[in-house]
Amino acid sequence: MELKDILNKCDHTLLAQTATWEEIKGICDDGMKYGCASVCIPASYVKQAAEYVEGKLPICTVIGFPNGYDTTAAKCFMASDAVENGAEEVDMVINMGWVKDQKWEDLLAEIKAVKAACKGKLLKVIIECCFLTDAEKIKMCELVTASGADYIKTSTGFGTGGATRGDVALFAKHVGPQVKIKAAGGIADLKDAEDFIRLGASRLGTSRVVKAVKGMESTGY
């Protein structure tokens, strides 16, 4: 697989609680240099980053992150605010307690409401696989498909586990044809990245792929 075909599927990510503007600017520079799909950053930096990249790179942010238990109204406000500030993509976390309570109608309604609040921008739905059973993951594939969201995403990277090959394969079997897959959390190197893409992921949430490429460049690869 060509390196550029991996990089253009990467949401180059920095979501650390201590992230500074200099660090955010740095991943924006890397995202533009290496042709990444987007940079995924905290909402408080979206406006500044969007102005900085001047349309050369999509800005992605997260809402209801990482726990997912904000109210639907709060998530909708966060999504709308992010889009107004220049976000082209929004990654939302579902209410995992509602999954455990089997509140399927509430989950579907929330995803639809957030999608509407995105005003036509891309919505990725994080279901945090490490906390769900396979049956719950399959149900969420069905709900995300029915909601009109653009992507289903494995993980926040802040839970007890990240993307697994098994979860991406499961998604590929159970989402509708219009729903794409994002693998995120723990993608360590280019081999991982290739594996997830071959299993059906269209996006990878990771900082390590760009770091790996920079490391290869520094050693004269």
Domains of the chain: 3-216 (3.20.20.70)
pLDDT for the residue numbered 38: 98
Segments of 78-147 assigned E as strands: 89-93, 122-126
Evaluate the CA torsion angle 49, 52, 54, 57 in order and state its sign. Answer: negative
Segments of 31-72 assigned E as strands: 38-41, 59-63
Cβ neighbours, 10 Å, residue 73: 11
User: Residue 220: is its pLDDT beyond 70?
Assistant: no
Answer yes or no: are the C-beta atoms of 19 and 42 closer than 8 Å.
yes
User: Residue 105: is its pLDDT beyond 90?
Assistant: yes
pLDDT for the residue numbered 217: 86
pLDDT, average across residues 70-77:
98
- Helix then strand count (H, E) for the chain reads 10, 8
Evaluate the CA torsion angle 15, 20, 24, 30 in order and state its sign. Answer: negative
Question: Which candidate in 91, 150, 167, 192 is catalytic?
Answer: 91
Length of the chain: 221
Confidence of residue 218 (pLDDT cuts 50, 70, 90): confident
- Nearest to residue 145, comparing CAs of 115, 186, 117? 115
The structure's pTM equals: 0.96
Q: What's the angle, vertex CA 43, arms to CA 37 and CA 44, rounded to 5?
A: 130
Query: Catalytic: 153?
Result: yes
User: Residue 78: is its pLDDT beyond 90?
Assistant: yes
pLDDT, average across residues 118-144:
98
User: Residue 221: is its pLDDT beyond 70?
Assistant: no
pLDDT, average across residues 202-218:
92
Query: Catalytic: 56?
Result: no
Which two three-digit tokens encode residue 138? 């399959």
pLDDT for the residue numbered 216: 86
Answer yes or no: are the C-beta atoms of 182 and 11 closer than 8 Å.
yes
Answer yes or no: are the C-beta atoms of 82 and 46 closer than 8 Å.
yes
Percentage of the chain exceeding pLDDT 70: 99
pLDDT for the residue numbered 215: 87
CA distance 102 to 105: 9
Q: Which residues pair with 180 in a beta bridge?
A: 151
Evaluate the CA torsion angle 44, 160, 175, 144 in order and state its sign. Answer: negative
The tens digit of pLDDT for each residue in 32-46 reads: 999 999 999 999 999
CA distance 70 to 67: 8
What integer best gives the mean pLDDT of the chain?
Answer: 97
Query: Catalytic: 91?
Result: yes
Question: Which candidate in 11, 153, 167, 180 is catalytic?
Answer: 153
